[in-house]
A and B are shown apart, each in its own frame.
Chain A
Amino acid sequence: MNLDEHGMMMIATLIYGLALVYSVFLWRKGFTRDDTINVGFLVSGFLCHTIALMIRAAETQRCPINNLFEVTMFTAWIIGFGFIIGAFWSNLRSFGVFISPLVFSLSLMSLFPNVDSPVNSLELRGWFILHVPIILLAYGSFAMASVASVMYLTHSHYLKYNKELAFWVRLPSISRLEHTSIILLNAGVALLTIGLALGFFILKINSGKIMSADAKIYWSLVVWVGYVIVLLLHWFSRIRGRYFACLTLGMFLFVLTTFWGANLLSDIHNASPVP
């Protein structure tokens, strides 16, 4: 196996897989066991993942966000980075159990055949370089918010229905999880707003029009409006707790299940192959 970006990504995926297996064990034990091993797997996987990204960036001399392989790899990296920040800065280590399926799936998807298609690097300069990572950061925030929501629902379920086990569960308090979810949603909406504004600006520069009849643009606007509604509902205290967590999770599931479809239907978001 060559230790290029694909090789390193394979190692990272393997380690994320081990984290996933250990997460299933922790889940089955009701989150009552110490999660140091899981954190260790995720940190090791993240290091290999980072090396893979760096190799790719050094090879192409640009930010690795230009085809599906790079976008998927970058999105998984953002989620991993968010976990590292949360785990070591805010002691949210238990996020690891919940993000390991996500980072493993994304890393695995990035390794699918024909995902790493060559792209025309001339199209990937200027404002575009900011537009894509900012949007991906926004989706990373939404992913982390949905993870916090799953944790909220899990912990809340234990506290209501499995009271004895709930006492031993090593998850953050439900208030903290809701608060974390709100912060991540706010950050995600702010980033998505900036990313979309940059997108419209790029469109204006390239075609002279601020809007285009493109599936991905319509889809992005639907996602933006959806998240803004969720935040407004929370802001005006219409939804809190379990309902807020369900809505946050539902929104992300919508993003997850439609993201690739919207990309494939889009004319302007499919980078043209090298002639």
Chain B
Amino acid sequence: MGIVAIGMSHHTCPVEIREKVAFVDSHLTDAMAQLKKDHHIEESVIVSTCNRVEIYCFADQQPEFTHQKLYDFIRDFHGLKGASRDHFFFLRGQETLEHLFRVASGLDSMVLGETEILGQLKKAYHHALENHFSGKVLNRAFQNAFSVAKKIRTETSIQRGSVSVGSVAVDLAFKIFEDLKGRQVMVIGAGDTSEKTAKALLSRGAHSIFVTNRSFERASKLAKELNGVAIHFEEWESHSPQVDIIISSTSAPHYVIDRNRLEPMLGKRKGRPLLLVDIAVPRDIDPGLCPSDGGVFSYNIDDLQAIADHSMKLRQQEVDKCDQIIQQRAMEVLDHLHRGQSGGSPHSPDAATESSPHNLMSSPETRSIKS
């Protein structure tokens, strides 16, 4: 008996498979109810995000037996006939806890150290808790997962820096402007990265956005999406004195912002700082104009990518430290659960004679996603 997990993630299978086994929110209660009623799984939490589908369980039965039941359940629930076991990972005992803690801390995420997964994990747990599918064992496991994630966040540098071009640009904006409240942004060229960067700036408080593109239709579409204002490409210079941040990502073969265009703009800005973010290749902003110009700070895609790469390297250096914290806590939780069982758990009054922390540990056959 013990705590087990089954799942698939971006590490084990492509999105074409993951999307077939994803649980939509409206089916979660039904799925957990089936697990309890039909498969005698006492406690369960289903985590279903774009990058992973995982079921954490506690059942009074052999882990191998529970794994098979869960695998069959997923296939039946989603009506899958040909889903291979190779796409799934099966965990039990301490490695289940370690995996859960790694997921909560963002160590198993596509972007190392990201925090969005913690919110998704909390949502999944609260859903199970509210519907009485999570009990003493999973409550302890998940609450410890949240506390480990917090500990890792505060005691290591796993979230240090920014690892995407957009977030690096936002952080640099904060180094120039104290905050982004009231700051106006202009997007030149309606590309994907400029859209993401503009969204990141808006989410951190930027005031409004002008969007310009050679195709006014595309500019209008993006402006609508960003809740901004579309302007004709020929008119962008007349709006630039009001703007504090310019993100440029056109496919123009020449510089869109050069000295001739910038100088009149700077004259009207009265010395206010201007952040230029050039994410175009070939570059849109003349690289020679900035160092000598007072309030102009310019970054191209290589500058931003170098910072993002350095952040990622720093985060990767922290993984071992995080794993030590996780292993330590997983052992403590497991020990606590075992002592709870020895004292007479509501799940298993006779568990003291049947289980020990060692037989809650993984068997050699168990496949771990860490490999």
CA distance A168 to B314 in the complex (A): 12
CB-contact partner of B307 in A167, A243, A244, under 8 A = A167
Contact A179 B178 (CB under 8 A): yes
Closest to A242 in B: B294
Any B CB within 8 A of the CB of A121: no
Q: Mark A144-169, 1 if CB is under 8 A from B, else 0.
A: 00000000000100011101101111
Could you pull out 17 A-B pairs where Cβ atoms are within 8 angstroms? A160-B291, A163-B303, A163-B307, A164-B303, A164-B306, A164-B310, A167-B310, A172-B178, A173-B175, A173-B176, A175-B177, A176-B178, A179-B178, A240-B295, A241-B294, A242-B295, A244-B271
User: Which residues on the B side are within 8 Å of A240 (C-beta)?
Assistant: 270-272, 294-295
CA distance A179 to B311 in the complex (A): 30
Contact B271 A159 (CB under 8 A): no
Q: Given A163-B299, A167-B171, A179-B178, verify A241-B306 contact (CB < 8 Å).
A: no
User: Which residues on the A side are within 8 Å of B271 (C-beta)?
Assistant: 237, 239-241, 243-244
User: Which residues on the B side are within 8 Å of A164 (C-beta)?
Assistant: 303, 306-307, 310
Any B CB within 8 A of the CB of A99: no
Closest to A163 in B: B303
Closest to B300 in A: A163
User: Which residues on the A side are within 8 Å of B306 (C-beta)?
Assistant: 163-164
CB-contact partner of B161 in A155, A168, A175, under 8 A = A168
Closest to A167 in B: B307
Any A CB within 8 A of the CB of B290: yes
Contact A175 B303 (CB under 8 A): no
User: Which residues on the B side are within 8 Å of A169 (C-beta)?
Assistant: 175
A274 CB → nearest B CB, Å: 52
Closest to A244 in B: B271
Q: Given A237-B270, A240-B271, A240-B272, verify A166-B175 contact (CB < 8 Å).
A: yes
B178 CB → nearest A CB, Å: 4
Any B CB within 8 A of the CB of A231: no
Q: Which A residues lie at the B interface, using CB under 8 A? A: 155, 159-161, 163-164, 166-169, 172-176, 179, 237, 239-244
Closest to A158 in B: B175
CB-contact partner of B273 in A167, A172, A174, under 8 A = A174
User: Which residues on the A side are within 8 Å of B303 (C-beta)?
Assistant: 163-164
Contact A167 B294 (CB under 8 A): no
CA distance A169 to B307 in the complex (A): 12
Any A CB within 8 A of the CB of B281: no
B360 CB → nearest A CB, Å: 41
Which 10 residue pairs spanning A and B have beta carbons closest together? A240-B271, A237-B270, A176-B178, A167-B307, A241-B295, A173-B178, A163-B303, A241-B294, A175-B178, A242-B294
Contact B297 A160 (CB under 8 A): yes
Any A CB within 8 A of the CB of B174: yes
Q: Given A164-B307, A164-B310, A167-B168, verify A159-B297 contact (CB < 8 Å).
A: yes
Q: Mark B19-47, 1 if CB is under 8 A from A, else 0.
A: 00000000000000000000000000000
User: Which residues on the B side are within 8 Å of A239 (C-beta)?
Assistant: 271
CA distance A166 to B162 in the complex (A): 13
User: Which residues on the B side are within 8 Å of A176 (C-beta)?
Assistant: 178
Q: Given A167-B161, A167-B172, A241-B273, verify A173-B291 contact (CB < 8 Å).
A: no
User: Which residues on the B side are within 8 Å of A160 (C-beta)?
Assistant: 290-291, 297
A167 CB → nearest B CB, Å: 5
Closest to A237 in B: B270
Closest to A156 in B: B297
Closest to B177 in A: A175
Q: Given A173-B176, A179-B178, verify A161-B307 contact (CB < 8 Å).
A: no
User: Which residues on the A side are within 8 Å of B295 (C-beta)?
Assistant: 240-242
B318 CB → nearest A CB, Å: 15
